[in-house]
């Protein structure tokens, strides 16, 4: 179907999945009918008999201690059933990971409620009542006194000599060494990190006066190659500061949850990014056994990293329900979502980059500081360095970074965590270098872009780790051709009246997959194949898509396949979290392994029943049959035989290498047909990444400062395409998520009170349908990754950085290099800076 009424980018419909029946083909996902008719039930759509509602008392101060608390008047109100305070929370539990490592609980990590709030909006207590009016009125009747404590919302403020500490004992996490191993005992767990204080000197802060990021001591540092030699040889050296915004995830469905207890088990309804992995997380937060947790999460209204497993929003209704002995629904308002709903940390970055005259990056000195919020350190700071080292392949590089605690809402991974920030700090520098060196923007990226088994990061045990594959240069070339890059660059005049056009290109990449998870399927005696899916259903459709790879291997038409998902009591296998773009890669591998296990069992059953050896048989067209013609049977018949044979054929015996949760699910499903369960043990040489080349054109009105995105194209190197429509949705959807960081999303604070001013959509507005071109374009190379049997890599994160950076590069193409040194770029940024001829926004201050 032709899309357009603009027609400015040529649409060439690509055919994906050559040689496959299901892989690479479009189809209708099994969850779509319920969604389109309003029958799909999200957490807040459930109702339990006698359900109570819950409201939270949130801290009005960014850092304080509760001095006095009196809940008697509230508790005496008719309709108020229970009040939960921090002293009633279970003590934090240690985590036993699936490979047997113990992660010690950190008493200084986030709890569900607190008497020492560390950010404005942190929950202090919760009230359960017959309705929300009563619960809210009860909150008003609670008498509470706070002792205000020093606070810091800006990471540089707390780093200054004598600056305030966000926590009473400091402003950074410090990891003590693991105690030495004792012979014969299990390896000791590392102690939980403690809090320390990091302050820089006035001398180290001197650069801040000139708008350059000060660079004091950092706890973390790595390097490879000789950067000083690189800078000496460079034809051009740039030293630039850039600041990225803090952005809330803002899923349209807030993290509401319903919880109730039956027979000692807690039932939780909520949106999550993993059905399988959220169960142990709930158990850990509640300090109960995993067998006591049932999670229902069939539909999730968006996550983007903010709904990875369990957190505050599940634990409060679960504990209140236990206390009140009634179901409790905690609906989260949009403001509450801003406070407890997670966000991406901003990164303050400074890069010194040395270029050869053909644009090759021969030396790169990278320095980043993150604004982490008050709790556990996010990985954005170290990840930003690794992604930059992979994407631009510097000959020599040093990376330094520090994760600063602040009294702002807790952060978590958001689509391409650290990747977006690293790319957005780096890309404007490359754009500027190309202009200074007289090079084409595509050409300078061509010479730096990763290829094949590209190395990244510092040496580990004497060797730098490397990617499984990269075909980004081909994506860049094909994208430039489809976008008509050269024609757009050559087009004159750039300015017509008050409108100036600019074009931008950006490279982008992120981790694209993990390994080692399990698959589980049952071929039923009626010939249908049931895939058990532990993947969260947050809209990417990987919950269903990945099983198409299994059906393809089994030669079963999709109409004969069912997928079970969204309820942890329905016997699901050990599955990755749908975060970090792992799923398509990890779970197509597991689906493939499981289908291969089913094929082997089908062949063995056929050999047992019909004679010969298993290898004499083949599986296709819903049959297992002797190669070259002759005897065979249908999958339905084989399933019946599997039940008769029992043992390994119907799930009574399963492979020892499966995860314990997969084994438990197999036990429960045993005897229903031919059961196949397998762990992904396929080798993988390298770390899996996916890549995008992003192109955009903007039109800026220099009289008003307003600008429009005229065209956008993302060309993806994400391995084999599994489901074109859902892939296209991810490539463009996540590009726009990144574009939001360029065109307007950010946090704004009142620095005097440490109070957030941007708590709603209209104050930190995600892009609307009018903010993006009506005819966006995407395409994928569809080159299989050589290190995974299905060839597919993940896609969610890689487009994000390129979406943002290509817009920034298009803006600097239109307006020059002296307009902005932070994102987002708004109309007022453009107007004031154009007039002054230099960036007029404060270069370093947080949350402006």
Partner 1 sequence: MSDIEDPKTIECPPNTLTRRDLIKRVIVGGVAVSSASYLFRASTLLRQSAPGTGERLLTINVNGQQRRADVMKQETLAWTLRHKLGLTGTKLGCDRAECGSCTVLIDGVPHYSCSVLTHTVRDRKVLTIEGLASSDGTLHPVQQGVIDEQGFQCAFCMPGFIMAAVAFLKTNPNPTRSELAQGLSGNLCRCQDYDKILTAMMRGAENMRGASRV
Q: For residues 247-286, which are near partner 1 according to CB under 8 A?
A: 250-254
Please say which residue, 341 or 673, places its beta carbon nearer to partner 1.
341
Paired tokens of 806: 């290509």
Q: How far is the CB of 412 from partner 1 (least distance, A)?
A: 16
Q: Between residue 293 and residue 322, which ones bind partner 1 under the rule CB under 8 A? A: 299-304
Within a 10 A sphere around the Cβ of 845, how many other Cβ atoms? 15
Q: Which of 11, 69, 79, 600 binds partner 1 (CB under 8 A)?
A: 79
Residue 730 beta carbon to partner 1: minimum distance, rounded to whole angstroms = 8
Which pair of tokens denotes residue 232? 């000496």
> Which residues are registered as beta bridge partners of 295?
268
CA distances from 324 to 261, 316, 563, 597 (A): 10, 12, 37, 48
Closer Cβ to partner 1, 335 or 562, answer by number: 335
Residues 750-789 that bind partner 1 (CB under 8 A): 760-762, 766-770, 772, 774-776
Q: At what angle do helices 419-437 and 724-743 cross, to 10 degrees?
A: 70
Strand order in the sheet with 707-717: 495-496, 499-513, 688-701, 707-717, 777-780
CA 640, 645, 649, 652 torsion-angle sign: positive
- Using CB under 8 A as the binding rule, the residues of this chain from 489 to 508 that contact partner 1 are none
Binder among 10, 14, 15, 39 for partner 1 (CB under 8 A): 39
Residue 4 found at the interface with partner 1 (CB under 8 A): yes
Q: Which of residues 571-630 bind partner 1 (CB under 8 A)?
A: none
Other C-beta atoms lying within 10 Å of the C-beta of residue 408: 32
Torsion sign across C-alpha atoms 35, 41, 43, 47: positive
Largest separation between any pair of C-alpha atoms in the chain:
87
Nearer to partner 1, 549 or 654 (CB): 549
Distances (CA, A) of 586 to 385, 547, 583, 684: 24, 12, 5, 11
Cis check: omega of the bond before 824, within 30 degrees of 0: yes
Q: DSSP readout, 794-845?
A: --SSHHHHHHHHHHHHHHHHHH-TTS-SBS---HHHHHHHHHHTS--S-SS-
CB closer to partner 1, 540 vs 568: 540
Q: Is 635 in the site for partner 1 (CB under 8 A)?
A: no
Binding to partner 1, residues 517-556 (CB under 8 A): 538-541
Could you tell me the smallest distance in angstroms from the CB atom of residue 563 to partner 1? 16
According to DSSP, the residues that pair with 52 across neighbouring strands are 328
Binding of residue 42 to partner 1 (CB under 8 A): yes
3-state secondary structure of 660: helix
List 713's β-bridge partners, or say none. Answer: 695, 777
Strand 617-620 to strand 172-174: parallel, antiparallel, or no bridges (unpaired)?
unpaired
At 202 the three-state DSSP class reads coil
State which residue, 139 or 431, has the beta carbon closest to partner 1: 139
Residue 733 interacts with partner 1 (CB under 8 A): yes or no: yes
Considering only 430, 543, 561, 737, the residue that binds partner 1 (CB under 8 A) is 737
What is the C-alpha separation between 312 and 341, in angstroms, rounded? Answer: 9
Q: Residues for the chain: how many in total?
A: 848
Single residue of 12, 18, 28, 460 touching partner 1 by CB under 8 A:
28
Q: 139 vs 347, which CB is nearer to partner 1?
A: 139
**Among 114, 120, 134, 383, which residue sits at the site for partner 1 (rule: CB under 8 A)?**
134
To partner 1, the closest distance from the beta carbon of 336 in angstroms equals 8
C-beta closer to partner 1: residue 254 or 403:
254
Among 9, 22, 56, 388, binds partner 1 (CB under 8 A): 56
Nearer to partner 1, 55 or 746 (CB): 55
Distance of alpha carbon 713 from alpha carbon 779, whole angstroms = 8
Using the contact rule CB under 8 A, the part of the chain among 44-52, 180-188, 235-243, 497-505 near partner 1 is: 44-52
Regarding 740 and contact with partner 1 (CB under 8 A), the answer is: yes
Nearer to partner 1 by C-beta: 457 or 773? 773
* Minimal distance, residue 239 CB to partner 1, in Å: 34
Shortest separation between residue 174's beta carbon and partner 1, angstroms? 35
* Near partner 1 in 692-731, by CB under 8 A: 725-726, 728-730
Q: Note whether 220 binds partner 1 by CB under 8 A.
A: no
Taking the complex as a whole, the smallest distance from the CB of residue 734 to partner 1 amounts, in Å, to 7
Q: Which positions ≥6 away from 834 have C-beta within 8 Å?
A: 702, 705, 815, 819
How many residues sit in the footprint of partner 1 (CB under 8 A)? 82
Q: Which of residues 137-196 bind partner 1 (CB under 8 A)?
A: 137, 139-140
| DSSP string computed for 132-154 | HHHHHHHHHT-EEEEEE----SS
Nearer to partner 1, 541 or 604 (CB): 541
**Which CB, 636 or 737, lies closer to partner 1?**
737
Cβ-based nearer residue to partner 1, 490 or 770: 770
Of the pair 54, 596, the CB lying nearest partner 1 is at 54
Site residues for partner 1, window 321-350 (CB under 8 A)?
331, 333-336
Burial class of residue 13 (count of CB atoms within 10 Å of its CB; 0-12, 13-18, 19+): exposed
Q: Copy the structure tokens of residue 295.
A: 């999670």
Provide the minimum distance between the beta carbon of 129 and partner 1 in the complex, in angstroms, as a whole number.
Answer: 8
Q: How far is the CB of 44 from partner 1 (least distance, A)?
A: 7
Compute the least distance from the CB of residue 58 to partner 1, in Å: 6
| DSSP string computed for 445-497 | HHHH---SS-B-SS-BTTB--BBS---HHHHHHHHHHHTTHHHHHH-S-SEET
- On the 0-12 / 13-18 / 19+ scale of CB atoms within 10 A, 611 is exposed
Is the distance from CB of 594 to CB of 555 less than 8 angstroms? no
Give the residue with the Cβ less far from partner 1, 11 or 634: 11
- Give the residue among 308, 330, 326, 307 at the shortest CA–CA distance from 317: 330
Specify the residue, 54 or 643, whose C-beta has the smaller distance to partner 1: 54
In the bound complex, what is the minimum distance in angstroms from residue 308's beta carbon to partner 1? 15
**Binding segment toward partner 1, per CB under 8 A, in 23-31, 460-468, 474-482, 513-521:** 23-31
| Residue 22: CB minimum distance to partner 1, A | 15
Contact between 97 and partner 1 (CB under 8 A)?
Answer: no
**Taking the complex as a whole, how short is the minimal distance between the CB of residue 302 and partner 1, in angstroms?**
4
Q: Please report, for residues 430, 435, 437, the alpha-carbon distance to residue 234 in angstroms, rounded to integers and kept in the order given.
A: 14, 16, 12
Beta-bridge partner residues of 82: 128
């Amino acid at each position: 179907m032709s899309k357009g009424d603009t027609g400015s980018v040529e649409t060439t419909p690509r055919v994906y999945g050559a040689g496959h029946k299901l892989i690479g083909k479009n189809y209708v996902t099994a969850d779509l009918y319920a969604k389109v008719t309003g029958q799909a039930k999200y957490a807040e759509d459930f109702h339990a008999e006698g359900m109570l509602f819950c409201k939270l008392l949130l801290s009005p101060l960014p850092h304080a201690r509760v001095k006095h608390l009196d809940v008697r008047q509230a508790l005496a109100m008719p309709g108020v059933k229970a009040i939960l305070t921090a002293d009633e929370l279970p003590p934090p539990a240690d985590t036993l990971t699936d490979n047997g490592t113990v992660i010690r609980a950190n008493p200084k990590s986030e709890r569900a409620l607190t008497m020492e709030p560390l950010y404005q909006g942190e929950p202090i207590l919760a009230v359960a009542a017959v309705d929300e009016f009563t619960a809210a009125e009860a909150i008003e009747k609670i008498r509470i006194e706070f002792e205000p404590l020093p606070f810091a919302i800006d990471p540089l403020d707390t780093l200054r000599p004598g600056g305030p500490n966000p926590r009473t004992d400091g402003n950074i996490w410090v990891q003590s060494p693991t105690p030495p191993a004792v012979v014969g005992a299990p390896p000791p767990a590392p102690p939980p990190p403690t809090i320390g204080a990091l302050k820089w000197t006035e001398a180290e802060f001197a650069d801040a006066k000139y708008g350059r990021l000060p660079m004091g001591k950092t706890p973390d540092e790595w390097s490879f190659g000789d950067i000083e030699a690189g800078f000496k040889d460079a034809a051009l050296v740039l030293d630039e500061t850039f600041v990225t915004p803090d952005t809330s995830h803002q899923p349209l469905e807030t993290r509401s949850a319903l919880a109730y207890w039956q027979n000692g088990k807690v039932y939780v309804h909520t949106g999550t990014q993993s059905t399988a992995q959220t169960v142990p997380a709930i158990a850990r937060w509640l300090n109960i056994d995993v067998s006591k947790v049932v999670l229902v999460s069939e539909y999730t209204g968006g996550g983007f990293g903010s709904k990875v497993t369990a957190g505050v929003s599940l634990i409060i209704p679960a504990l209140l329900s236990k206390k009140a002995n009634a179901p409790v629904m905690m609906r989260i308002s949009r403001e509450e979502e801003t406070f407890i709903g997670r966000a991406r940390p901003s990164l303050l970055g400074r890069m010194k980059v040395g270029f050869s005259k053909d644009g090759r990056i021969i030396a790169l000195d990278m320095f980043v500081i993150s604004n982490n919020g008050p709790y556990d350190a996010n990985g954005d700071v170290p990840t930003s360095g690794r992604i930059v080292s992979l994407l631009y392949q510097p000959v020599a590089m040093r990376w330094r970074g520090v994760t600063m605690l602040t009294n702002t809402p807790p952060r978590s991974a958001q689509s391409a965590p650290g990747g977006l920030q690293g790319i957005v700090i780096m890309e404007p520098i490359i754009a500027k270098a190309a202009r200074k060196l007289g090079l084409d923007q595509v050409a300078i990226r061509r010479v730096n872009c990763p290829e094949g088994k590209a190395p990244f990061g510092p040496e580990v045990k004497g060797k730098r780790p490397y990617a499984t594959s990269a075909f980004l240069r081909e994506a860049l070339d094909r994208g430039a051709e489809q976008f008509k890059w050269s024609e757009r660059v050559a087009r004159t005049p750039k300015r017509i009246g008050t409108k100036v056009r600019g074009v931008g290109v950006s490279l982008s990449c992120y981790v694209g997959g993990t390994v080692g998870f399990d698959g589980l399927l049952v071929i039923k005696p009626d010939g249908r194949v049931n895939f058990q899916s532990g993947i969260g259903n947050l809209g990417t459709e990987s919950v269903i898509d990945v099983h198409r790879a299994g059906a393809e291997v089994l030669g079963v038409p999709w109409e004969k396949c069912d997928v079970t998902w969204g309820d942890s009591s329905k016997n699901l296998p050990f599955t990755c979290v749908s975060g970090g773009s792992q799923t398509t890669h990890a779970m197509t591998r597991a689906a493939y392994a499981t289908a291969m296990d089913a094929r082997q069992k089908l062949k063995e059953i056929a050999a047992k029943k019909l004679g010969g050896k298993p290898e004499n048989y083949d599986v296709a067209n819903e049959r297992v049959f002797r190669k070259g013609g002759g005897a065979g049977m249908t999958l339905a018949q084989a399933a019946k035989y599997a039940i008769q044979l029992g043992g390994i054929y119907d799930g009574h015996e399963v492979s020892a290498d499966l995860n314990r949760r997969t084994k438990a699910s197999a036990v429960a499903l045993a005897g229903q047909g031919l059961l196949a369960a397998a762990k992904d043990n396929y080798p993988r040489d390298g770390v899996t990444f996916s890549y995008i080349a992003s192109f955009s054109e903007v039109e800026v009105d220099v009289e008003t400062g307003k600008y429009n995105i005229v065209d956008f194209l993302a060309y993806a190197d994400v391995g084999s395409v599994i489901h074109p429509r859902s892939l296209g949705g991810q490539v463009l959807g996540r590009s726009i998520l990144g574009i939001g960081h360029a065109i307007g999303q950010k946090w704004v604070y009142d620095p005097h009170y440490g109070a957030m001013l941007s708590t709603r959509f209209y104050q930190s507005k995600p892009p609307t349908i009018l903010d993006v071109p009506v005819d966006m374009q995407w395409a994928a190379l569809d080159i299989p990754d050589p290190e995974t049997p299905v060839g597919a890599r993940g896609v969610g994160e890689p487009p994000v950085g390129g979406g943002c950076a290509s817009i920034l590069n298009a803006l600097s193409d239109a307006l020059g290099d002296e307009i902005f040194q932070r994102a987002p770029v708004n109309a007022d940024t453009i107007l004031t800076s154009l007039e002054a001829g230099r960036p007029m926004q404060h270069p370093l201050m947080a949350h402006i």
